[in-house]
A and B are shown apart, each in its own frame.
Chain A
Amino acid sequence: MSSLVVVGNGMAGARLVQELLARDPARDRDITVVGDEPGGAYNRMQLSNVLAGTTRSDAIDLAPPEWYAAHDVTLVAGRAVTGIDRAARRVHVGTGGRDGTAAALPYDDLVLATGSDAVLPPVAGLLTGDGLLPGVATFRTLADCVRIDELARTAGRAVVLGAGVLGLEAARGLAGRGLDVTLVQRGRRLMERQLDAEAARTLARSLAALGLTVSTGSGVAGVTGEDRLDGVVLGDGRRLPCDLLVLCCGVRPRVELATAAGLPTRRGVLVDDELRSVGDPHVRAIGECAEHEGTTYGLVAPCWEHARVVADLLADPACGTRYRGSAVVTRLKAAGLELATVGEAHAAGDADDDADLEVVRFSDTARGVYQKLVVRDGRLTGAILLGDTRTVGTVTQLYDRGALLPPDRSALLLPRRAGATEAVESPTALPATATVCQCNGVTKGAIVSAWQDGARTAADVAARTRATTGCGTCRDTVCGLVEWLAAADPDEPAPTRVLDRAG
């Protein structure tokens, strides 16, 4: 029986185990998962919603500890891996378990899914002897989320540092809970990695409309407060009083273990198309800690693709599955802020200096709408949909599939109303060939003929033509036609608007 050890029980590590079990229920492999957070795996993607109060905290479990036991997977939770002995193929787990002892786990296959750490910005006064100054929190783990949630219950003013996706979600969530929130960003614009300048400006206006204050181009130089936070000092010297500071300054892949074990790393652990370490075929890396073709990913979709590929390869080494990089779609989860970006729409600002590049833009700043498609060779290479994401499903699928775009690109920004049947203001305006009753294929002309043959009520018309006898939705039109015919015929008394059972 071979042994698989997975280091890290976050979105990537837990997904790998689930994918593997789905492929190989009668497996011939011991699986151990080591995670330094307590408890089972949870959905980190949903923490913003938990903080905002739109998702219950008990609804984000991906795999509680009982799940591992039920599936005969060993979970070592709340303990850190201290080292990898690649020569002996052992993983050393630090003390801290119930028995207080360290352990060494043998492996045949080792998967590093260590994820990322929140980056601590170089801000004076942030750290005390015990860690972060009370009132200051990073936003990465469930524990962080719980801490911010507790602080937010009593805090009145909050500063969120970092205007990436997470910072925006945190700021919006806290503002939605009634806090007075300032979003501070050292760079010049919001969501620098996803947005161009105009999109960022439009977004900033939308945030302001939602009651958030945005301060860009300054950053936080220091924090104030003795035992607990009472304010921040911005880069331009201004002081903002606040009792909660949330740090959303990006993440850094956790590669210390790999580096210490002598595995090649740059930003992440360097892996090939089978997600194997380029330095050791028994070690793989997946998720945010993996670096493939010079890219590390900070979104869940690529991490799950890693998990799928590795699960395929572990279940059947000859399966031929390979990882070729991921298409990147970013979706903001924040009430009142509709935003989706795909690819690298922020970079391609101007088509003037690149003849092969086509840029389609729509902007309606009064409504907070900014949309942009970046097209190369008829295919989408990037997009921003801000303020109006009705076409997001189509746009992301076109991008994911690398499909040819429709010749008229505008429909990808502003959806046309499909199947818009003309509102029938008056049935009398219909042409004689118009089908009134779809179910029975009855035209207006046929109804007029029925009238001429003596049908004087809608029920008579129904008996002769079958109109209204199918789904019945043309009833009003038929009644209207009968009234019109009666009115046009001076010898006829006004008809009664009565339908019998047949109608």
Chain B
Amino acid sequence: MTQTHCPYCALQCGMTVTPGTNDTDGPTVGERDFPTNRGGMCQKGWTSAALLGGDGRLTTPLARDSRAEPLRPTTWEDALDRTAAAIRRTQRAHGRDAVGVFGGGGLTNEKAYLLGKFARVALRTSAIDYNGRFCMSSAAAAGNRAFGVDRGLPFPLPDLADADCILLVGSNPAETMPPFTRWLADQRARGGALVVVDPRLTPTAQRATLHLQLTPGTDLALANGLLHRVIAGGHVDVDYVRARTTGFDEVARVVASYWPERVERITGVSVADQQAAVDLLVRAERAMVLTARGAEQHSKGVDTVSALIDLALALGLPGRPGRGYGCLTGQGNGQGGREHGQKADQLPGYRRLDDPAAREHVAGVWGVAADDLPGPGRSAYELLAGLGDADGVRALLVAGSNVVVSVPSSGRIRDRLGRLDFLAVSDVVLSETAALADVVLPVAQWAEEDGTMTNLEGRVLLRRQALRPPPGVRTDLDVVAGLATRLGAPGEWPTLPRVVFDELRRASAGGPADYAGISYERIAAEDGVFWPCPDDGHPGTPRMFLDRFATPDGRARFVPVEHRPAAEDVDADYPVYLTTGRVLRHYQSGAQTRRIAALRDAHPEAAVEIHPDLAEQHDLGEGNRVRVVSRRGAAEGPVRITDTIRTDTVFMPFHWGGANSVNAVTNAALDPISRMPEFKVCAVRLERCP
């Protein structure tokens, strides 16, 4: 029995994995008392051992000479030789930036780190980014500009249980991370208030003290409106604002224009409900503001999070025990995955790639000259949207991401992948993206290898190897090292996770996300270690900002922000809003969960949630097939009639590919700062399928 963590979301529930005893008996997972999940797990976790079985698993590399042919099994030598040759050929003909790398927020810290190093040192390309751009980047950018650093939750989860009021914006943990909601249940049992902001009356919202069912794309206006009433009512924590922040006056001036009646008309949230939310917040001794993708996945996601941080700052929350602002990270390693260099503009330790001192430090660890490191590259969607262009990427390596399903306006990206000279995909199964590749590399997965993950609290965790990978499978670290060696890259290319982690520690030392004092032994002994942890004697940092913020002057920054409409609003041709999200039984692009019979049977496809009034207008009944059509594409699914959604909005989950893929419909309008696409709102029309 091995103590490890769940393969899915950012809660990274502690669990055990026990190998099967014989050929017929598969591995099993068990409960484990860990401080975050306290023995709990959702059905995804309980059934995750089925991922380790042979069903659909790739165990041999695949390759083809042209896309007209089917993929055929080949040897590892051939697959890696082909890939290295394609890289060389492409870079010779089109320059270094013509080869790109696309990573994922589910990869371990070791993999994310080595992938970033590979891009900068072996490929010397600026073209690297990852799917975390689609989930974490807006909160990250807003956190950085307010606090000088971005750690999802700057406090440990148990703090939630003691909060008197939690404002939860755009998050549905009752379905996306069920064991997390035990902390909310404890909080409610203590008499704490929960305010949920969501266009849907989600299972989470059903447990709330107050649900604000706003119009999709109007969270920013609502946040400014709440702050307006906080200021108008004289509830600003003046001493805190004076001692610990800058920029309040300008924010106060901006929100003076967000009086409740105006905000009501923009958001649809009544004046009375706005005031009720403010009353709950200002009456609380300890309050928290938490955001997730519902607030962040917008073309104004960064500004929306800033508005909510401004609210938290005015109430005097961040950097005080039991209070604060936090973002609930989604992907398994959404936090660690954005800290160690697979992001277009970053180096390990959450350092900036355009910071000369950071380049010197990391280049020193890597044994190369700082001048040889490329500069910042394009963000995820822009990288993908430029595939095959004269100045774009022409050969792409994908690891830990199923972009065909997970990117917005996905029809366009599928075309773009087709224009590539070469595509190599590392994956556990033949995902929708892997099926398009020239070379497919079968890699090990969570319980088959060691590695660290950083959970939503900034707690670095150890996933341990519980069983051997199937024969024929290699690890991502092996793949990177194999390619780096073939390309004659300078420096070391270790394949043991522990050795890679030790190098990561050195590379991160002195950076904002400093892992220098964290070791596998300490993680195991201490139930995880919170970064920053600069040396072996440092206890780690469960609560950040208690003395100062990570800005040059130590103060948090208020950032004035204005509401603006969604990039695409409803009109006569596309009169209905579409919003997207997750369901209880599936995760991300579904590449893992759709393989598990219990999850697939319980939730076989993406249904379209429609309010009874809207359904009646379209003559749609429960179970009818409906096409959700936007200017970019269409997705089809069965109608699910529910009065938990707004009458002007439909919801569709994003875990499926093909005709059922909602990201064929979503809008790729990007946030100007984070380059986050607007997954959470676009305009559609509904067509009943014949």
What residues of chain A have their CB less than 8 Å away from a CB belonging to chain B? 22, 42-43, 45-46, 49, 54-56, 59-64, 67, 300-301, 329, 331, 333, 338, 389-390, 392-394, 396-397, 400-401, 403-404, 406-408, 411, 416, 418-419, 421, 438-441, 466, 469-473, 501-502
Within 8 Å by CB of A393, from B46, B207, B262, B267, lies: B267
- Is the CB–CB distance between A438 and B584 below 8 Å? yes
**Residues of B contacting A43 with CB < 8 Å?**
256-257, 259
**Residues of A contacting B215 with CB < 8 Å?**
393, 397
Of B269-277, B333-341, B651-659, the one touching chain A: B269-277
| Residue in A closest to B205 when the chains form the complex, CB atoms | A419
| Residue in B closest to A417 when the chains form the complex, CB atoms | B643
Within 8 Å by CB of A62, from B40, B256, B269, lies: B256
Q: Does chain A have a CB within 8 A of B411?
A: no
Q: A56-B232, A403-B648, A471-B174 given as contacts; is B256 within 8 A of A61 (CB)?
A: yes
| Residue in A closest to B261 when the chains form the complex, CB atoms | A331
**Residues of B contacting A400 with CB < 8 Å?**
265
Known: A59-B252, A393-B264, A419-B643. 12 other contacts (CB 8 A): A45-B259, A45-B261, A46-B232, A55-B233, A62-B256, A64-B253, A331-B264, A393-B270, A394-B647, A466-B41, A470-B179, A473-B174
**Residues of B contacting A440 with CB < 8 Å?**
42-43, 46
Q: Interface on chain A toward B: helix, strand, loop, or mixed SS?
A: loop
CA gap between A440 and B29 in the complex, in Å: 15
Q: Does chain A have a CB within 8 A of B206?
A: yes
CA gap between A42 and B256 in the complex, in Å: 8
Q: Does chain A have a CB within 8 A of B178?
A: yes
B186 to chain A, nearest CB (A): 9
B616 to chain A, nearest CB (A): 5
Interface string of B577-597 (1 = CB under 8 A from A): 000000011000000000000
A464 to chain B, nearest CB (A): 12
CA gap between A45 and B260 in the complex, in Å: 11
A17 to chain B, nearest CB (A): 13
A327 to chain B, nearest CB (A): 10
B664 to chain A, nearest CB (A): 25
What residues of chain B have their CB less than 8 Å away from a CB belonging to chain A? 31, 33, 38-43, 46, 174, 178-182, 185, 201, 203, 206-207, 215, 228, 231-234, 252-253, 256-257, 259-262, 264-265, 267-272, 562, 570, 575, 584-585, 598, 602, 613-614, 616-617, 642-644, 647-648
Q: Which 7 A-B pairs have the closest CB atoms?
A: A393-B268, A406-B613, A470-B178, A55-B232, A331-B261, A471-B178, A471-B181
- Is the CB–CB distance between A466 and B647 below 8 Å? no
- Is the CB–CB distance between B265 and A329 below 8 Å? yes
B477 to chain A, nearest CB (A): 33
**Residues of A contacting B257 with CB < 8 Å?**
43, 62
CA gap between A300 and B265 in the complex, in Å: 12
A56 to chain B, nearest CB (A): 5
Q: A404-B617, A439-B584 given as contacts; is B272 within 8 A of A338 (CB)?
A: yes
- Is the CB–CB distance between B182 and A472 below 8 Å? yes
A315 to chain B, nearest CB (A): 15
15 pairs, A vs B, C-beta closer than 8 Å: A54-B232, A389-B271, A393-B215, A397-B648, A403-B575, A406-B613, A418-B643, A419-B201, A421-B206, A438-B174, A440-B46, A469-B179, A471-B182, A472-B181, A501-B38
A36 to chain B, nearest CB (A): 21
CA gap between A418 and B609 in the complex, in Å: 14
How many contacting A-B pairs (Cβ < 8 A)? 155
Within 8 Å by CB of A502, from B39, B181, B260, B268, lies: B39
- Is the CB–CB distance between A469 and B41 below 8 Å? yes
- Is the CB–CB distance between A469 and B616 below 8 Å? no
A308 to chain B, nearest CB (A): 11
**Residues of B contacting A300 with CB < 8 Å?**
262
CA gap between A46 and B262 in the complex, in Å: 11
- Is the CB–CB distance between A331 and B271 below 8 Å? yes
| Residue in B closest to A393 when the chains form the complex, CB atoms | B268
CA gap between A45 and B271 in the complex, in Å: 15
**Residues of B contacting A403 with CB < 8 Å?**
570, 575, 648
Within 8 Å by CB of A406, from B185, B575, B616, lies: B616
- Is the CB–CB distance between A439 and B617 below 8 Å? no
A247 to chain B, nearest CB (A): 24
CA gap between A155 and B585 in the complex, in Å: 66
Q: A62-B253, A62-B256 given as contacts; is B43 within 8 A of A470 (CB)?
A: yes
CA gap between A257 and B284 in the complex, in Å: 53
**Residues of A contacting B616 with CB < 8 Å?**
406-408
CA gap between A438 and B267 in the complex, in Å: 31
Within 8 Å by CB of A441, from B31, B43, B203, lies: B43
**Residues of B contacting A55 with CB < 8 Å?**
232-233
CA gap between A396 and B270 in the complex, in Å: 11
CA gap between A67 and B41 in the complex, in Å: 53
| Residue in B closest to A391 when the chains form the complex, CB atoms | B270
**Residues of B contacting A397 with CB < 8 Å?**
215, 265, 268, 648
| Residue in A closest to B234 when the chains form the complex, CB atoms | A56
- Is the CB–CB distance between A59 and B644 below 8 Å? no
**Residues of B contacting A393 with CB < 8 Å?**
215, 264-265, 267-270
**Residues of B contacting A466 with CB < 8 Å?**
41, 43, 46
CA gap between A458 and B46 in the complex, in Å: 18
A306 to chain B, nearest CB (A): 15
**Residues of A contacting B642 with CB < 8 Å?**
419
CA gap between A278 and B267 in the complex, in Å: 36
A21 to chain B, nearest CB (A): 11
- Is the CB–CB distance between A408 and B613 below 8 Å? yes
CA gap between A421 and B40 in the complex, in Å: 25
A164 to chain B, nearest CB (A): 16
- Is the CB–CB distance between A333 and B643 below 8 Å? no
**Residues of B contacting A501 with CB < 8 Å?**
31, 33, 38-39
Q: A329-B265, A418-B643, A441-B602 given as contacts; is B40 within 8 A of A469 (CB)?
A: yes
**Residues of A contacting B39 with CB < 8 Å?**
469, 501-502
**Residues of B contacting A406 with CB < 8 Å?**
613-614, 616-617, 647
CA gap between A291 and B539 in the complex, in Å: 69
Q: A406-B616, A411-B613 given as contacts; is B179 within 8 A of A471 (CB)?
A: yes
CA gap between A366 and B635 in the complex, in Å: 50
Within 8 Å by CB of A419, from B33, B206, B269, lies: B206
A391 to chain B, nearest CB (A): 8
CA gap between A383 and B617 in the complex, in Å: 21
**Residues of A contacting B602 with CB < 8 Å?**
441
A372 to chain B, nearest CB (A): 18
CA gap between A35 and B647 in the complex, in Å: 45
| Residue in A closest to B40 when the chains form the complex, CB atoms | A469
| Residue in A closest to B39 when the chains form the complex, CB atoms | A501
**Residues of A contacting B40 with CB < 8 Å?**
469-472
CA gap between A343 and B192 in the complex, in Å: 41
**Residues of A contacting B232 with CB < 8 Å?**
46, 49, 54-56, 59
A329 to chain B, nearest CB (A): 6
- Is the CB–CB distance between A46 and B270 below 8 Å? no
CA gap between A22 and B261 in the complex, in Å: 23
A378 to chain B, nearest CB (A): 9
Q: Which of A67, A389, A400, A466 has the most CB of B within 10 A?
A: A466
| Residue in A closest to B186 when the chains form the complex, CB atoms | A472
- Is the CB–CB distance between A389 and B272 below 8 Å? yes
CA gap between A59 and B257 in the complex, in Å: 10
**Residues of A contacting B42 with CB < 8 Å?**
439-440, 469-471
- Is the CB–CB distance between A67 and B265 below 8 Å? no
| Residue in A closest to B643 when the chains form the complex, CB atoms | A418
CA gap between A416 and B644 in the complex, in Å: 11
| Residue in B closest to A64 when the chains form the complex, CB atoms | B253
Q: A59-B232, A331-B264, A331-B271 given as contacts; is B643 within 8 A of A416 (CB)?
A: yes
CA gap between A416 and B612 in the complex, in Å: 12
A44 to chain B, nearest CB (A): 11
Q: Which of B178, B234, B257, B575 has the most CB of A within 10 A?
A: B257
B28 to chain A, nearest CB (A): 13
Q: A59-B252, A471-B182 given as contacts; is B265 within 8 A of A301 (CB)?
A: yes
- Is the CB–CB distance between A61 and B253 below 8 Å? yes
